[in-house]
Amino acid sequence: MNYKNSAVLLSIVIPCFNERERLPKTLNKILSYLNSSQEASIIPSWEIIVVDSASTDGTASLIDYEFREIVKVIKLKVKEGKGKSVKVGVLSSLGENVLICDADGSTPICEISKLLLALEKSSIAIGSRKDQSLLMKKQSVYRRFIGRVFNFLVRFITGVNVFDTQCGFKLGKGSELRNLFKKIQIKGFSYDVELLFLANIHKYKISEVPVIWMNDERSSINLWLDPVVMFFELLQIKFFHSFKFKNGN
């Protein structure tokens, strides 16, 4: 954490599970960018929150040791899913703006400048892999197929009309984002859809911004089981929140 002012301009929330190898590299790149931005008065105050979802490879201990007093580490006792980790991180944040990004650094931190610009006219700016020319390393054919099917189901079931709900690079205004995450129920990968679904209910404007992205095949997603789980999560999102909204909650 590094504050020149009492207020925190930007919080960066990074969920992780068994990221001992990749996370330190990502953090060093983020810190280098933040220090340069701080000197230029672009991002004068910030905090980084790493939420460790009960890693078994010593990720939390390593980050605690290598980035002591720079990065706040929250250690969850039980692995409940990415959505749960992100929720804990966002609700622990203090920033005027909050960035959610993945531990593998698939999207370079410098791409935040695009999201910050979009956030001037919206409440949430989400990174998108829509522009194929910005994809430095593409996913496998099967993963792209699953992604297209999931995107169709997202639109059909929930009405969330964005190209890429699952890119792990999202920026939101802190107050609005914390308000939404208080209501989020999904603990798994479909939390992104629930976030955008709730944003639509609250009439928060969403901007989708094409960003540079490099695929890393070392993913924790099970390409056979997780799509099935995510389908049922979409149904849960639709009917749970639609029911609550109709009843004035």
**Could you tell me how many residues make up the chain?**
249
State the residue range of the domain holding 60: 2-246
Contact (CB, 8 A) for 42 and 67: no
Buried b (16+ CB within 10 A) or exposed e, 45-56: bbbbbbbbbebe
pLDDT in tens, 218-244: 666 666 677 888 899 999 999 887 666
A 10 A CB-CB count for 137 gives 10
Confidence (pTM): 0.90
Rounded to the nearest integer, the mean pLDDT of the chain is 89
pLDDT in tens, 3-50: 444 588 999 999 999 999 999 999 999 999 999 887 667 788 999 999
Q: Give the Å distances, CA to CA, from 210 to 6, 42, 234.
A: 33, 21, 24
pLDDT at 138 over 70: no
Number of domains in the chain: 1
